[in-house]
Amino acid sequence: MPKSTFFRLPEERRARLVHEAIVEFADRTYAEASLSQIARRANIPKGSVYQYFEDKLDLYRWLLTEEAPRLKREFVGKPSMEGDFWTRLEDFVERGMAFLVEHPRLARLSAAAADPTANPEVRGLHKAICEAGLKELRAVLEAGAESSALHAPDLDVATRFVATIIGPGLTDVVLKELGAELHEVLASDSLRKRLGPKRRRALAHQAVHFIRKGLGSEKPRRGKET
Amino acid sequence: MPKSTFFRLPEERRARLVHEAIVEFADRTYAEASLSQIARRANIPKGSVYQYFEDKLDLYRWLLTEEAPRLKREFVGKPSMEGDFWTRLEDFVERGMAFLVEHPRLARLSAAAADPTANPEVRGLHKAICEAGLKELRAVLEAGAESSALHAPDLDVATRFVATIIGPGLTDVVLKELGAELHEVLASDSLRKRLGPKRRRALAHQAVHFIRKGLGSEKPRRGKET
Amino acid sequence: MPKSTFFRLPEERRARLVHEAIVEFADRTYAEASLSQIARRANIPKGSVYQYFEDKLDLYRWLLTEEAPRLKREFVGKPSMEGDFWTRLEDFVERGMAFLVEHPRLARLSAAAADPTANPEVRGLHKAICEAGLKELRAVLEAGAESSALHAPDLDVATRFVATIIGPGLTDVVLKELGAELHEVLASDSLRKRLGPKRRRALAHQAVHFIRKGLGSEKPRRGKET
Amino acid sequence: MPKSTFFRLPEERRARLVHEAIVEFADRTYAEASLSQIARRANIPKGSVYQYFEDKLDLYRWLLTEEAPRLKREFVGKPSMEGDFWTRLEDFVERGMAFLVEHPRLARLSAAAADPTANPEVRGLHKAICEAGLKELRAVLEAGAESSALHAPDLDVATRFVATIIGPGLTDVVLKELGAELHEVLASDSLRKRLGPKRRRALAHQAVHFIRKGLGSEKPRRGKET
DNA sequence: TATGAATGAGTTTTCATTCAT
DNA sequence: AATGAATGAAAACTCATTCAT
């Protein structure tokens, strides 16, 4: 976690540092990212950065566990309480997509926990974040199961399936829609309006529909499926 | 692609190099992996490696596009032609899981195309591999759609959903089953019998069932769902 | 030398600083020791330390020339005036060993003047301390020579021999007795009772016996020596 | 230990590196010494130095355990076998002094094993060297004891006393004779003729006389000793 | 006077790649 | 073609000291 000095920093300076850190760690893997670069671009002496953070990992950890989640929460807001389980899930998914579209860098940072790495400390960090996310999602799905909207023999397995769908799965779909590669999108921090809310809603619907119904063709309903 | 010299190499020497390269690139991200390490461990002069491959990327590219797929094909074999679409998909998925369990390193290498990276060349490579994989999967699903076993309004979207399920999704599930982290599994090159064929089949079934049916509770089936 | 502010410091704060400084400079060489560490561990702002001392060297100098000698004097007490020259020397040596055993850190600090270093200022300081010590010892030996207990053609040379015997020589012997390395002993500030007074006396006797035979005036040979 | 590449180095380049390394490590403590400096002054890229040695410690270790002893042996030659135990010891001591006077830097390097340090690896190295030296000296004294030239109740203790006398003790004496500080002497690599062989012999005699009287077997006491 | 943040020079080390033999 | 040494750029990090409040 940052040292206290970090929080007492003049707003402008702190913002500069945070911004460049987000850019660096969103654009690059932890292993590829460089504290030196961050400092250089933020125009802050390397020595000073070490006044604010224990080390490279400390900064990264703070971004991943504090700053990125905070900014995401700010954007995404409270989950809707209206409608049935599936409606709420759809709303939830749609917000995630909006976040990705409007703040690609932050979204990428929020997803960095899935990055593979040989560094054991970073791996530990990533693992913790992933597990927290899965736990949260599991709770959501549990609610769905209790309201018997959702039926899964093994909720842990189901949670992982759903997580990949609304995580990397949807991201992929969105990028395809944008006709862009992730990195082109990252280059511009600003919003990307190329994927309007209407289309977003349609995609969210498709995802949730998939989760809800799968791909089995039910038209010619006959015979017995499990 | 490897230079011609590579193919003229004494078998034993070549195998040594390939083996160590696989180990290194499976254990670490491209950025983290080190040609020096590979050469050192394979006991082959670094300079020689540059006789066989253009550079680090060239070796990596060959592994990802040629060697790993070849070894995977060897293990996985031809897709079954028996049974209906879903049975065949299940069989396909189950083979993938077997591969993961028996050859974790190769499986990880085969999945490395999903790794994010700031390196544009590596990104290009990864992208190409992903797209090829998606195209292949899409063809499979198309067949399913034609046989009207499968119904998807947007096949591209569906393909991506299915891909993440049977890719990172199932990998995650398997690791959870093994109670292991990916890296512990990588450490041992050898087979991991901890996940027997029976359980594997059950999981494959669950995955395909999910794809086929989703999670919607059909118990109180009445009326039409959205 | 410390600035006046240092002496006006609240006792508790001053003690904390001094303690941590002693620990740091006893455990590590001047070059290895870190003012930052001292301040951090004493929980005193680095900036403040510079209010009390000119710089790192100033603190070190004060410890070596003032504080450590003071604490040593406190423990060692006045040299005995009883008995003949050799008895008194033995007593003196034995006290030194007791100091080493009971206060290893202070003893190490007191001996730091013998540390080599490339830093000219530190070297000057060390040299001055060494010379003062030699001068003092020389005076003691002179007394012995006058009482013709001791006989040395060149007293300067003799002084240096004696100094190394009762300095690094005895320290080495004691550590061997303790079966310990210096650094293990330093780790524990507290007394180390593993070398009881009886054994200590025996060792002191051995050392002085060695010196006595080497320098002892054998002219009035009578009585029995070991 | 150095990598094989080091030994295959062009003589001139290797000599340059070794020379600067000796200078650096003789002038400065391990902690104070800098590989960067050595490389810079030897005009060899830092990266290249790492082709020859594992790391800073590796170079240091080689100097202390291989190169310095080798050069010392070369200068000091075989110990004389003529005369009685004390004569031979005197000869041995005198050679040591000659080495100090003619090759101050190498002598200082050879003595660096006595340097204190907080670095555990360096401490281990130093300890090993010291112990080897003590063992060797002990063997010498044992021979003396067997020929009953020397009498010591505890040979380990005696060894340590003798070691400090002919080590730091004599060095100190010599430096005083030269009227110089160690570092002034180090500055000039070349011989220092200010302490002629005659005076050297006198000092060696004094040292051995001191030791002889301290440890000399007085059993067959007759006449006056030298 | 106390504080605590700023800073810049310096350190060790790693690596991909080139090049001469 | 094989080798293995050379190299330079870059990284993470530490520390004594200064300075503004």
pLDDT at C192: 61
Identify the sign of the CA torsion B172, B174, B179, B180: negative
Nearest to A165 among B114, B123, B161 (CB): B161
Q: Which of the 11-50 residues on chain D come under 7 Å of nucleic strand E at their beta carbon?
A: 33-37, 46-47, 50
Q: Which of the 120-139 residues on chain D come under 7 Å of nucleic strand E at their beta carbon?
A: none
pLDDT at A15: 96
Query: A215 contacts in B (CB within 8 Å)?
Result: 141, 144, 150-152, 158, 162, 211-212
C226 pLDDT more than 60: no
| 3-class SS of residue D19 | helix
pLDDT at D185: 83
Q: Which of the 13-42 residues on chain A come under 7 Å of nucleic strand E at their beta carbon?
A: 13
**What percent of chain A is modeled with pLDDT above 90?**
79
**Per-residue model confidence as pLDDT tens digits over A167-188:** 999 999 999 988 888 888 887 7
**Per-residue model confidence as pLDDT tens digits over B128-154:** 999 999 999 999 999 999 999 998 989
CA distance D51 to C203: 50
How much is the average pLDDT of C195-205?
90
**Per-residue model confidence as pLDDT tens digits over A192-210:** 667 888 999 999 999 999 9
How much is the average pLDDT of A29-48?
96
CA distance A81 to A166: 19
- Strand F: which nucleotides have any atom within 7 A of a protein Cβ? 1-20
Question: DSSP character for A80?
Answer: P
CA distance B35 to D97: 51
- Look at residues A13, A49, B115 and name the one whose alpha carbon lies nearest to residue A37: A49
Joined together, the tokens standing for residue A64 give 């991943």
CA of A35 to C1' of F11 (A): 8
Q: What stretch of H or E contains D91? A: helix D85-102
Nearest to D31 among C32, C165, C214 (CB): C32
CA distance A63 to A4: 15
CA distance D166 to C161: 9
Q: What is the CA radius of gyration of chain D?
A: 19
pLDDT at C111: 96
Query: A120 contacts in B (CB within 8 Å)?
Result: 183
**Residue B186 in contact with residue B105, Cβ under 8 Å?**
yes
Helix axes of C197-215 and D197-215: crossing angle, nearest 10 degrees: 130
CA of D48 to C1' of F9 (A): 13
CA distance B132 to B145: 20
Are chains D and A in contact at 3+ CB pairs closer than 8 Å?
no
Q: Kindly determine whether residue A216 and residue B213, on different chains, have CB atoms separated by under 8 Å.
A: yes
- Look at residues B170, B65, B70 and name the one whose alpha carbon lies nearest to residue B112: B65
| 3-class SS of residue B150 | strand
How much is the average pLDDT of D82-87?
90
Question: DSSP character for D191?
Answer: -
User: Which residues of chain A does CATH 1.10.10.60 include?
Assistant: 1-54
CA of D35 to C1' of E21 (A): 29
**Per-residue model confidence as pLDDT tens digits over C111-142:** 999 999 999 999 999 999 999 999 999 999 99
Q: Kindly determine whether residue B152 and residue A115, on different chains, have CB atoms separated by under 8 Å.
A: no
Joined together, the tokens standing for residue C144 give 């012995």
Q: Is any atom of nucleic acid chain F found less than 7 Å from the CB of residue D4? A: yes
Alpha helix (H) ranges present in D104-166?
104-111, 120-146, 155-164
A164 pLDDT more than 90: yes
Closest approach of B177 to chain A, Cα-based (Å): 10
**CB proximity C117 to D under 8 Å:** yes
Chains in contact with A via at least 3 Cβ–Cβ pairs below 8 Å: B
**Per-residue model confidence as pLDDT tens digits over A137-160:** 999 999 999 999 999 989 999 999
Are chains A and B in contact at 3+ CB pairs closer than 8 Å?
yes
Question: DSSP character for D84?
Answer: -
Greatest CA span in chain B, whole angstroms? Answer: 71
CA distance C161 to C169: 10
Identify the sign of the CA torsion A165, B162, A82, A195: positive
Closest approach of B7 to chain A, Cα-based (Å): 30
Residues 95-114 of B with CB under 8 A from A: 108, 112, 114
Q: Is any atom of nucleic acid chain E found less than 7 Å from the CB of residue C226? A: no
C225 pLDDT more than 80: no
User: Which residues of chain C does CATH 1.10.357.10 include?
Assistant: 59-215
By the 10 Å C-beta count (0-12 exposed, 13-18 middle, 19+ buried), D100 is classed as buried
Q: What stretch of H or E contains D118? A: none
Average pLDDT, chain D: 90
CA of C53 to C1' of F21 (A): 21
**Per-residue model confidence as pLDDT tens digits over B83-107:** 899 999 999 999 999 999 889 999 9
Best of C23, C25, C27, C29 to disrupt the D interface (most D CBs within 10 Å) is C29
**Residue C125 in contact with residue C57, Cβ under 8 Å?**
yes
Which of A62-76, B195-209, D29-43 has the least mean pLDDT? B195-209
CA distance C105 to A144: 66
CA of D128 to C1' of E6 (A): 44
pLDDT at A192: 60
C107 pLDDT more than 90: yes
Straight-line distance from the first to the last Cα atom of chain C, in angstroms, rounded to the nearest whole number: 48
**Residue C217 in contact with residue C85, Cβ under 8 Å?**
no
CA distance D56 to D37: 11
CA distance D10 to A81: 78
Query: B153 contacts in A (CB within 8 Å)?
Result: 206
pLDDT at A190: 61
By the 10 Å C-beta count (0-12 exposed, 13-18 middle, 19+ buried), B110 is classed as buried
Count of CB atoms situated within 10 Å of the CB of C208: 24
Map tokens 């190498």 to a residue. Answer: D106
pLDDT at C26: 95
A221 pLDDT more than 50: no
Query: A152 contacts in B (CB within 8 Å)?
Result: 215
Average pLDDT, chain B: 91
Under the banding of pLDDT at 50, 70 and 90, the label for residue C216 is low
B224 pLDDT more than 60: no
**What percent of chain C is modeled with pLDDT above 70?**
93
Map tokens 């060696």 to a residue. Answer: D204
**Residue A181 in contact with residue A175, Cβ under 8 Å?**
yes
CA distance B134 to B76: 18
**Residue C63 in contact with residue C25, Cβ under 8 Å?**
yes
How much is the average pLDDT of C207-222?
70
How much is the average pLDDT of C1-21?
94
**Residue B64 in contact with residue B72, Cβ under 8 Å?**
no
CA distance D224 to D14: 55
| 3-class SS of residue C147 | coil
Q: Considering the domain delimited by A1-54, tell me its CATH architecture.
A: Orthogonal Bundle (1.10)
C221 pLDDT more than 60: no
**Residue B194 in contact with residue B97, Cβ under 8 Å?**
no
Under the banding of pLDDT at 50, 70 and 90, the label for residue B127 is very high
3.30.420.40, 1.10.20.10, 1.10.357.10, 3.90.550.10: which CATH number matches B59-215? 1.10.357.10
Identify the sign of the CA torsion B96, B102, B108, B110: negative
**Residue B194 in contact with residue B178, Cβ under 8 Å?**
yes
**Residue C220 in contact with residue C126, Cβ under 8 Å?**
no
Q: Is any atom of nucleic acid chain F found less than 7 Å from the CB of residue A36? A: yes
D202 pLDDT more than 60: yes
Map tokens 């699903």 to a residue. Answer: B141
CA distance A181 to A188: 12
> Cβ contacts of residue C90 below 8 Å, gap of 6+?
C201, C204, C205, C208
| 3-class SS of residue C150 | strand
CA of B27 to C1' of F4 (A): 27
- Look at residues D195, D99, D165, D202 and name the one whose alpha carbon lies nearest to residue C158: D165
Under the banding of pLDDT at 50, 70 and 90, the label for residue D180 is confident
Highest mean pLDDT: which range of A39-43, A177-181, C191-195: A39-43
State the DSSP string of B77-127: -SPP--S-HHHHHHHHHHHHHHHHHH-HHHHHHHHGGG---S-HHHHHHHH
CA angle D81/D84/D88 to nearest 5° reads 50
**Per-residue model confidence as pLDDT tens digits over B111-124:** 999 999 999 999 99
**Residue B191 in contact with residue B178, Cβ under 8 Å?**
no
> Cβ contacts of residue C183 below 8 Å, gap of 6+?
C27, D118, D120, D123
What number of helices (H) and strands (E) belong to chain D? 13, 0
CA distance C22 to C16: 10
Map tokens 């200010």 to a residue. Answer: D194
Residues 158-217 of A with CB under 8 A from B: 158, 160-165, 167-169, 172-173, 176, 181-183, 203, 206-207, 209-217
- Look at residues B46, B146, A5, D185 and name the one whose alpha carbon lies nearest to residue C47: A5
CA distance A112 to A167: 11
Give the type of residue at B219: K
CA distance C181 to C178: 8
**Residue D118 in contact with residue D124, Cβ under 8 Å?**
no
**What percent of chain A is modeled with pLDDT above 70?**
94
Give the type of residue at B128: A
D225 pLDDT more than 60: no
**Residue C128 in contact with residue C112, Cβ under 8 Å?**
no
pLDDT at C189: 65
Q: Is any atom of nucleic acid chain F found less than 7 Å from the CB of residue C56? A: yes
CA distance D145 to C23: 42
CA distance C92 to C97: 9
**Per-residue model confidence as pLDDT tens digits over A42-67:** 999 999 999 999 999 999 999 999 99
**CB proximity D32 to C under 8 Å:** yes
pLDDT at D217: 60
| E strands present in D11-76 | none
C218 pLDDT more than 60: no
**Residue B45 in contact with residue B36, Cβ under 8 Å?**
no
